[in-house]
């Protein structure tokens, strides 16, 4: 995912979401890109972000799907908080993953 598109995705998520536990708005530094698909002019892409609330440190995952390379973004989903064990489970899953990122997003 190009840097420009990552920044657009984060701006979009900051506008459209807030912490579900304390209601705080997220900052640019609240987001960590975990995985993304390769984006070509003919294909939509997606990015999976880990989000940490700057106020209460609650964690959540968010997936953003791009409608085009120019960056019309759509929030796909926001899930409940995740634990350190969830992150470790994802780490172990990704370590053993043999497919490409596009296949990965189909699995998630
Ligand atoms: Zn919070």
pLDDT tens digits, one per residue of 49-97 = 999 999 999 999 988 877 643 444 444 444 455 666 677 777 777 777 7
Q: Which residues surround ligand 1, an ion (CB under 5 A)?
A: 19, 21-22, 24, 53, 55-56, 58
pTM, two decimals, is 0.59
pLDDT tens digits, one per residue of 13-32 = 899 899 999 999 999 999 99
Model confidence band, residue 43 (pLDDT cutoffs 50, 70, 90): low
d(CA 75, ligand 1 centre) in Å:
19
User: In the prediction, which pLDDT does 25 show?
Assistant: 96
Q: Is the CB of residue 73 less than 8 Å from the CB of residue 12?
A: yes
Q: How many domains does the chain have?
A: 1
Domain, as residue range, for 73: 3-107
Query: Where on the phi/psi map is residue 82: left (φ > 0), alpha (ψ -120 to 50), or beta?
Result: beta
d(CA 104, ligand 1 centre) in Å:
29
How far is Cα 84 from Cα 29, in angstroms, rounded to an integer? Answer: 19
User: In the prediction, which pLDDT does 39 show?
Assistant: 61
User: In the prediction, which pLDDT does 70 show?
Assistant: 45
Q: Supply φ then ψ for residue 32, to 5 degrees.
A: -130, 120
Contacts of 32 (CB under 8 A, 6+ apart): 49, 50, 51, 52
Q: Is the CB of residue 54 less than 8 Å from the CB of residue 70?
A: no
Please indicate whether residue 104 or residue 62 has the higher confidence score (pLDDT): 62
**Region 25-45 average pLDDT:** 81
d(CA 86, ligand 1 centre) in Å:
18
């Amino acid at each position: 995912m190009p840097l420009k598109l990552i920044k657009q995705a984060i701006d979009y998520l900051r506008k459209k979401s807030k912490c579900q536990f304390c209601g705080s708005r997220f900052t640019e530094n609240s987001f960590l890109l975990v995985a993304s698909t390769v984006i070509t002019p003919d294909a939509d892409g997606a990015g999976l972000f880990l989000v940490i609330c700057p106020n209460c440190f609650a964690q959540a995952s968010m997936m953003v799907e791009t409608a085009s390379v120019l960056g019309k973004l759509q929030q796909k989903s926001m899930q409940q908080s995740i634990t350190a064990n969830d992150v470790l489970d994802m780490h172990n899953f990704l370590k053993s993953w043999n497919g490409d990122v596009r296949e990965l997003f189909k699995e998630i």
